[in-house]
Amino acid sequence: MQYLLMLYAEEGGWARMSPAEQEQGVAAYGAYTQALKTAGALVGSNRLQGSATATTVRVANGKSQVLDGPYADSKEQLAGYYLIDVADLDAALAWAARCPAATHGIVEVRPVWSM
């Protein structure tokens, strides 16, 4: 079954890290991604640009409303995702707990509703 691991983090956190801490972060995500690949669980992943680049669209009364910025204003912003294919929710939760984002933000796990 496929699950989307949505990684939420405080956007300013990366800029406050020292170069050594940033290198450690890159290495941690690299190792995590490789572990997913090795296990045959990785379907896809990517980072997202900052929330300042987001555009929100909604249709009300038949007219499009386009707004600059993210849908929700919160402390943590959606920073990236992993799409994984694993046996069940327990396996997805185990992968989420291993994700580096879980140590400095939040990992939301949601099953994919296949069409």
Kindly list the structural domains of the chain, giving each domain's residue range(s) and its CATH number in brackets, ordered by start. 2-111 (3.30.70.1060)
Model-level pTM?
0.90
Q: What is the mean pLDDT of each run of 10 residues along the chain (115 residues)?
A: 96 89 95 98 96 90 88 80 98 98 95 93
User: Which pLDDT score, from 0 to 100, does residue 63 have?
Assistant: 96
Please report, to the nearest 10 degrees, the dihedral formed by the alpha carbons of residues 79, 76, 72, 111 taken in order: 60
User: Which pLDDT score, from 0 to 100, does residue 69 have?
Assistant: 74
User: Which pLDDT score, from 0 to 100, does residue 73 have?
Assistant: 67
User: Which pLDDT score, from 0 to 100, does residue 68 have?
Assistant: 84
